[in-house]
Every structure is written in structure tokens, then in C-alpha cells.
Amino acid sequence: MLAFILRRLAQGLLVLVGVACTVFLLFNVLPGDPAALLAGQRTDLATKAAITADLGLDQPLPTRLAGYLNDISPLGLHARDSASRARYGGLTLLPLGQQALVLKTPYLRRSFQSNKDVLSILLDYFPGTMWLALAAMVIASLGGVAFGVAAALRPQSVLDRTLVTTSVFGISVPSFVAAIAIAVTFGFYWSHWTGLSLTGQLYETDPFTGKSHLVLRNLLLPAVALGIRPLAIITQLTRSSMLDVLSQDYIRTARAKGLSRTATVLHHALRNALNPVVTAVSGWLASLMAGAFFIEYIFNWKGLGTVTLRAVENLDFPVVMGATLFVAALFVLINIVVDVLYAVLDPRVKIS
């Protein structure tokens, strides 16, 4: 098992290195002057030259790439001076003359717009995306399993055909289109009936007391918009799996022994039919975190999508690059956890 985990970690590390190199090379050929963004338009050439040197923009591209990989790596070689300690922090593992091998938090550079540390910006916005993705996954899982079971219990009925047709429509419609329709319908035209608004945050501050309080209703519309596509897929997957299980001999044997239809479905059929559904749900979570970007922008939700798209508009490349690496790391981490869980449940996975 240890060798299996180490192999998956090594593969994930290679993926992250490839993503980091691709992102760095892509954003270093795009137009834009980071020194001008940091210094402002009304500044002298000497200030711009100093900022250019501080960012390393006067160095060759391979040197800048090596420096970027050194910054984002948890293990890095850095100068043993006060400026480096203030920038990178961390724990010195091995002094090497004027430099040292340092164990540190990955340094994703600083924002061109706010000059704040990019990692701190992303960690500030990450909880919004995480709760949105989890809420969407709960809605999709519960709704998808319920609809799939209902369709499988009445095959070729009006209910079955309606649910199948609706699920095909849910898979076909892009999430951002569904988000716009849901926001306008339930958050604008019908807002006096639903009590929901176009925009809102998970925590709102009382203007009189200054205290923050949880507002779960603001999570409903963006979570439903984000969860429509996985809900439709889980509905079809559950229906197909249930139809297969209900046709097995042990189900007919259970009914022949006098077990009620409800007990047969809940205790025998559904338990076995949910195996592929659990696999799909575990793989969807990371995808929902990445897919939440446009949903957050439409609902003005405080999350990684909002801060990233605003950074794109402002040519704030460190934030965009950091967000890309952050999401890629989430994908890799969740996939590794899922692979390990598969290996625990099914030892054959480790062999393949």
C-alpha cells in the first residue's frame, strides 16, 4: 500500500510540475507590463526599472522559470538574508554558504493590484468555493439518487420518460446558461415569492452591529445552478444501475420469500446499485470546484472563481497563475485520495 501511495504522489507531483511550467510559459508571453501595473502609470523610469529587477523580468526566460519553480516548491534554495526570510519564511534544513535549503509554504508571488501574498488571497476566497461545491454535490447526490430510483421502479412510464428527458436536457445545457436562467427567474422576477436575491454571500455583516451571520438562503441558487449537470448524470447512472440490479436473481428470490417491495429496494437493490454512483460522486467534487468559476461570477459569490476572473480582467497574472496551480493541486489531491480509497476497497486496483 505504501508503494502504491508513493507512486500516486510521484505521478501527481509530475502533473503539478507540468501545469506550473505550462502556466508560467503561457502567462509570460501574454501582453502586459507588470512593472507598470505595480508602479502605476505616473512614475519614473528608475522606479519601473527597480520593480522589473525585483520581479526578475530582466532575466532570461529559463532563469525566470527556474526561479518560479523554486518559489512554488515546498523545498527551495533561498538566500540567507533578512529579505528572503521575510518573503519565504519556513524552516532552514541545510545551510549551503550564502544559500540554504528551506522547507516552506509554496510562495505564489504577490498580486500586481493589491501587492498581497497570492496564497493568502486564495485561502481567503477558497471556503466560499468549497461550501458551494459541497452544497451542489449534496443536492446532486440526493436528488439524482431519488429521481433515478423513482424512474427505475416504473420503467417506460410517464414518470420515467419525463425524468430521462429532463436529465438529458440537464446534461446538455451549460452550467452558466442554467445559472443565468435560474438567477433571473428565481432571484429577480420571482424574488418576492422565493425571498432569494441575485447576489449574496454565505456570511453577511449586520450594518448596525458589525457582526457576521450565516445566510444559507444565499447558497441555494448558485448551488442548484452548479449541481444541475451532476444531478442529471447521477439520475441516469442510478436508473441504469437500479434496472440492472432489479433484474438479478437474488432480487426475485427476496420477493418470492415474501420480503416487501420497499425492503427489497432499500436493503438489497439500492445498496448494490449505489457502487457506481459513489464512484461518480467522488470524482465530481474536484470538477465542481473548478466549474464553480463562472457560477460565482454570475452570482457575485465570494470564491476562487470571482477573484480569478477579476484578476484576468486586471491582468493580475500572479493571482491567475496561483489560482490555476491551486485548483490543479486540489484535483491531484482529491484524485489521489480517491485512488487510495479504491485500493483499500478493491486490492486489484493496486496491481493495475
Residues 142-185: pLDDT tens digits? 999 899 988 988 888 898 899 999 999 988 888 888 889 999 99
- The residue with greater pLDDT, 91 or 344, is 91
Looking at domain 118-345, its CATH class is mainly alpha
Q: Cβ(164)–Cβ(253) under 8 Å?
A: no
Judge whether residue 348 has pLDDT over 80: no
> Measured between alpha carbons, how far is 244 from 239 in angstroms, rounded to an integer?
9
The pLDDT tens digits of the residues spanning 209-251 come to: 777 777 888 889 999 999 998 899 999 988 888 888 878 777 7
Task: Please indicate, yes or no, whether the overall pTM of this predicted structure exceeds 0.85.
Answer: no
Grid coordinates in use for 114? 493589491
Judge whether residue 119 has pLDDT over 90: yes
Question: For the chain, what percent of residues have pLDDT higher than 70?
Answer: 88
Domain positions in the chain: 1-74, 75-107, 118-345
SS3 category, 285 = helix
Burial of 217: CB neighbours in 10 Å, binned 0-12, 13-18, 19+: exposed
pLDDT value, residue 223 = 92
pLDDT value, residue 206 = 73
> Measured between alpha carbons, how far is 220 from 225 in angstroms, rounded to an integer?
9
Scanning the chain, the segments in alpha helix (DSSP H) are: 2-27, 34-39, 45-55, 61-72, 82-88, 118-153, 158-172, 175-184, 191-194, 217-246, 249-256, 261-264, 270-273, 275-299, 304-313, 317-345, 348-351
pLDDT value, residue 192 = 85
Q: Cβ(133)–Cβ(229) under 8 Å?
A: no
